[in-house]
Amino acid sequence: MFSFIFVNNKLINPNMATTSDIRNGLCIEYNNDLYTVVGFQHVKPGKGPAFVRTKLKNLKTGKVIDNTFPSGHKINTQRVERNPYQYLYKDDLGYHFMHKETFEQLSLEEELIDAPDLLKEGQDVEILYHTDTETPLSCELPPFVVLEVTYTEPGIKGDTSSSTAMKQATLETDASINVPLFINTGDKLKVDTRTKSYVERDK
């Protein structure tokens, strides 16, 4: 009996997957760890064999590595699924989440969460599961979140330009990021969770 995987609407047979099946979001086993593909490029040099240059994100550590596979190389794909959760609270046991459809709760260690310092109670997230073992692999925040500034030095009056000069600001989740000089305590900011950086003042 065959098992299949859909990645970006492409059907993949994990028993026969090769580098031609590499897509962003594909989960593979590599060096006894699970990784997701976050970037790839098929290269056909003028001389020598073709290859695929990839960026792989370790689902346990979050570290991104570069790796090159020979073209046609067999890869060990893994079945994963994403489930919608809502962040509830943090205590000594970890970070607690509730499934938005079944209302079941689970707790995760901080190491499994992308940008845990940007988590706000009630925030929607996606938790990635290894399908075969039903093991949670990682918790992903949306690309952008809106958070209030709880403290920063007073803004410079009249300076609303996007100058390169920056200052520190503490957000309602206790995270600290660099912001433009015109930002004040009480402002709500759009923050990029992937880079933990200021995007714009929320309107």
150-171 tens-digit pLDDT:
999 986 665 555 557 889 999 9
**Of all residues in the chain, what percent carry a pLDDT higher than 90?**
49
Decide if 100 contacts 84 (C-beta within 8 A): yes
Counting Cβ atoms within 10 Å, is residue 58 exposed (0-12), middle (13-18) or buried (19+)?
A: middle
At 118, give phi and psi (nearest 5°).
Answer: -105, 5
Segment 174-196 mean pLDDT: 93
Q: Which domain holds residue 120?
A: 80-140
105 shares its domain with 162: no
84 shares its domain with 73: no
Domain closes at, from 140, 163, 192: 140
129 shares its domain with 94: yes
Domain CATH number, residue 98: 2.40.50.140
All residues at 6 or more sequence positions from 136 whose CB lies less than 8 Å from its CB, including other chains: 106, 108, 112, 127, 128, 129
Question: pTM for this one?
Answer: 0.69
Domain CATH number, residue 62: 2.30.30.30
Give the Cα separation of 87 and 113 in Å (integer): 11
Domains identified in the chain, total number: 3
pLDDT in the model for residue 132: 79
57 shares its domain with 39: yes
Counting Cβ atoms within 10 Å, is residue 66 exposed (0-12), middle (13-18) or buried (19+)?
A: exposed
Give the Cα separation of 165 and 183 in Å (integer): 12
80-134 tens-digit pLDDT:
888 999 999 999 989 999 999 999 999 998 988 889 999 999 999 999 888 877 8
Banded model confidence at residue 16, pLDDT cuts 50, 70, 90: low
9 shares its domain with 70: yes
